[in-house]
A and B are shown apart, each in its own frame.
Chain A
Amino acid sequence: MQSQDSTNRTAGAVKHPDATEWMAFLYGEVAPERKRELETHLAECGDCAAELTNWRSGMTALDDWKLPVKRRTPHRALPVLKWAAAAALVLGAGFLAGRQFSPARAELAELKASVAQLAESVQRERVNLTNSVNVATAAANAETLRLLSGYSQLQAGQRITDQQAIALAMRNFETRLGRLRIELETVALNTENGFEQTRENMTRLASFSAPLPNETDTPRP
């Protein structure tokens, strides 16, 4: 395969660019910096230059195949043309009717009237279109606003509920704290009473046992 050959070719220390890279080069798809490098290589490498000449001649040959030129020019997507066609129809009809039934002046007047009417209808259509666009935009805006306000209301409601829940929890907590404090105080009071009693007992015990050392000091007869 040619492409594989060109992938693996090397001349001395120089690595030849890949054939696929030359394709990108030929179709202007390489970065400017790399392009300069490739051009430098090309100036020095006869093998690559020969290959490129070959590919270029293929590309030139491709340019020789021209397709038939399409003769009709389709503009069917243009709504303007539809209006123009409608206008032409109305005008033509008006003109014919005028010619059939009235003298030239009346004809002219009628023509003018129909043109005016047509202009008016075009104008009306344009206004309608603008209006409908405006209405649609306004509706979209209103809808967005409504959604946004709904969302923010929802958010606000949520916040209030949260706050209430927190307040309730705080109140509960405080009540429990109060109760705890009272219990603690009771315990403390009890403890203090206990201490008091103990001290009293100890004092009493001390005073009770005070004569004892004397008794032991005195030698027994």
Chain B
Amino acid sequence: MSRLITSLFAASDEQTMWRVKTQDDPQAFARLVARWEGPIRRLCARMTGDTHRAEDLTQTAFARVFAARADWQPSGKFSTFLWRIALNLCHDELRKTKRRGECSLEGLEDGNGSAADLFATDDLSPDAQADVRERGELVRRAMQELPAHYRAVVVLRHYEHLKFHEIAEVLGIPEGTAKSRMVEALTQLNRLLKHVNEDTPCNHKIQRTELRAL
């Protein structure tokens, strides 16, 4: 039995997706979800800057994958297919949010209290933890100020460790373009972090937290 399970788990994403495509195998699909829901949730959270919306987007992304299983071509990588679907969802979501003129309420809503136990900073002292959270929050804000197509490259390269040529494949752009977007993103990010107090629609919240931190 255990040998059978390991052999099933050793199956590549492409083999597993093939089962989903040809046999509508729910177990195979569950394996893909188990393997990929973490990365996809992280992608959505970094793209939208909102972990709650990321949960919904992740669910939708996998629903779309299942719905589009007939379109999946085994000549391509499953991960490329999946990243593309999730990124498209994120872009749609960002467009919607922008139209409504909403600001994300992430993090700041919780203040310094209940959010504290959520963050992966257990090995630090409470003060240091607060400091890290504060800096993380500033980075999150700055990232949301970046154009979404720059942000996508940063998320895939820096946080999800895709190679530039893989990013190029996911985004359907030349590898050089992926790299120059990274250059531009890092440059803009530094500029944004230096001028974090300048007026942006959501910045009163940052300033409030900064005041609280003082």
Contacts and interface: CB of A to CB of B under 8 A. Distances in A.
Asked if chains A and B come from one complex, the reply is yes
A78 B157 CA distance: 31
B45 A20 contact: no
The main secondary structure of chain B at its interface with chain A is: helix
Interface in B184-200: 184-187, 189-190, 193
B180 A20 contact: yes
Contacts of B120: 66-69
B118 A2 contact: no
Contacts of B143: 62, 65
B132 A54 contact: no
Interface string B131-155: 0110111111011000000000010
Contacts of B45: 67
A20 B167 CA distance: 14
A199 interface: no
B164 A19 contact: no
Residue among B136, B163, B186 facing the most chain A CB atoms (10 A cut-off): B186
B21 interface: no
Interface stretch (A23-31, A104-112, A171-179, A200-208): A23-31
- Size category of the binding interface on chain A: 35 or more
Contact of B118 (A22, A61, A69, A75): A69
Contacts, number: 111
Nearest to B29: A77
A132 to B, nearest CB: 11
A19 B45 CA distance: 28
A57 interface: yes
B183 A3 contact: yes
Contacts of A54: 186-187, 190
B33 to A, nearest CB: 7
Interface residues of B, number: 48
B132 A27 contact: no
B194 to A, nearest CB: 10
A29 B186 contact: no
B190 A2 contact: no
A3 B184 contact: yes
Interface string A88-131: 00000000000000000000000000000000001000100100
24 contacts: A2-B187, A19-B179, A19-B183, A21-B179, A27-B157, A27-B164, A54-B186, A54-B187, A55-B187, A58-B185, A58-B186, A61-B135, A61-B190, A64-B132, A65-B137, A66-B120, A68-B115, A68-B118, A69-B118, A76-B30, A77-B30, A126-B1, A129-B4, A133-B4
> Considering the complex of A and B, which 6 residue pairs feature the smallest CB-CB distances, nearest first?
A20-B179, A58-B186, A68-B118, A65-B139, A77-B34, A77-B30
Interface of B: 1, 4-5, 27, 30-31, 33-34, 37-38, 41-42, 45-46, 51, 115, 118-121, 132-133, 135-140, 142-143, 154, 157-159, 163-164, 176, 179-180, 182-187, 189-190, 193
